Amino acid sequence: MSIIQVSNLKKSFGTLEVLKDINAEIQEKEVVCVIGPSGSGKSTFLRCLNKLEDITDGQVIIRGQDITDPKININKVRQDIGMVFQSFNLFPHMTVLENVTLAPIKVRSVSKAVSNEKGMELLAKVGLKEKANSYPGELSGGQKQRVAIARALAMNPKIMLFDEPTSALDPEMVGEVLEVMKQLAQEGMTMVVVTHEMGFAREVGDRVLFMDGGYIVEENVPSELFGNPQHDRTKSFLSKVL
């Protein structure tokens, strides 16, 4: 059974229909990259997967649970879905280590000692062990985003969502973040990545979804989607970004 199943997902903001009829299925350990022009609904799609946006219509089933069911405890569902934002959204009043350990301590009631140890391991993994006691304001963009990834990983998520994780970064810092994501993919994390990094999508993605105008216009393995796009809109988008 797929870990994420989306059927007939629709999302409107007021009268503006942003997602028109989204159907997608994502398997465990799969890395799915979502590409498409700005305003096509990529972020909204991603944010519907952990219900940061209210879902207007359709079904989103995460690990067998329909999250559109109002009776479901969405906090519980979110604990297993990590999310990384374009603008990092680190908590500026907490140290790097506190950022990473907050959710395990408060949400999973893990002891402080255990969370700190796990937190340090994760910071080591993203190469920022020595920044544990710094504040986010003292970090570069690339470092911030790596902390944000460590923070999400601290909850042991089953799925990781990335919304343009490198778009706010100076070019020289993009690599360090993509490297961490690549490692995560190799370890078998299920990942949905909205990105403009076509190189990453091609190299790390198992599948690429091309979105335009609130629809998934085309999806395929990267080699096919990039090498042999079927739809005119895909072709025209790729000709602009490649």
Partner 1 sequence: MDAISKAMPYLLEGLQVTVYIFIASLILGLIIGLIMALLRLSPVKPLNWIAKIYIDAIRGTPILVQLFFIYFGLNSFEWISMDKTTAGIVTVGLNAGAYFAEIIRAGIQSIDKGQTEAARSLGLTGSQNMRFIVLPQAVRRMLPTFTNQAIISLKDTSLLSIIGIADLTQQGEVATSATFEAFKIWFVVGVIYFILIYLLSLLANFLERRFELR
Q: Which residues bind ligand ADP (CB under 6 A)?
A: 13, 16, 18, 36, 38-44
Residue 37 or 127 with smaller CB distance to Mg ion: 37
Residue 36 or 222 with smaller CB distance to ligand ADP: 36
What does the alpha-carbon distance between residue 83 and residue 161 come to, in Å, rounded to a whole number?
5
What does the alpha-carbon distance between residue 22 and residue 214 come to, in Å, rounded to a whole number?
8
Burial class, 215, CB count within 10 angstroms (exposed 0-12 / middle 13-18 / buried 19+) = middle
3-state helix, strand, coil in the chain (%, to 5): 40, 25, 35
Q: Which stretch binds partner 1 (CB under 8 A): 62-70, 134-142, 176-184, 190-198?
A: 134-142
Residue 85 binds which entry of partner 1, ligand ADP, Mg ion, none, CB below 5-8 Å type-dependent: partner 1
Contacts with partner 1, 76-95, as mask; x by CB under 8 A: x-xx-xxx-x-x-xxxxx--
50 dihedral zone (left: phi>0; alpha: psi -120 to 50; beta): alpha
Q: Strands across the sheet with 215-220, in order?
A: 81-84, 159-163, 190-194, 31-35, 207-212, 215-220
Residue 107 binds which entry of Mg ion, partner 1, ligand ADP, none, CB below 5-8 Å type-dependent: partner 1
Tell me the two tokens of residue 51: 């219900």
Contacts with Mg ion, 17-56, as mask; x by CB under 5 A: --------------------------x-------------
Residue 2 binds which entry of Mg ion, ligand ADP, partner 1, none, CB below 5-8 Å type-dependent: none
Residue 77 or 198 with smaller CB distance to partner 1: 77
Give me the residues paired with residue 13 across strands: 16
Q: Least Å distance between CB 70 and ligand ADP? A: 21
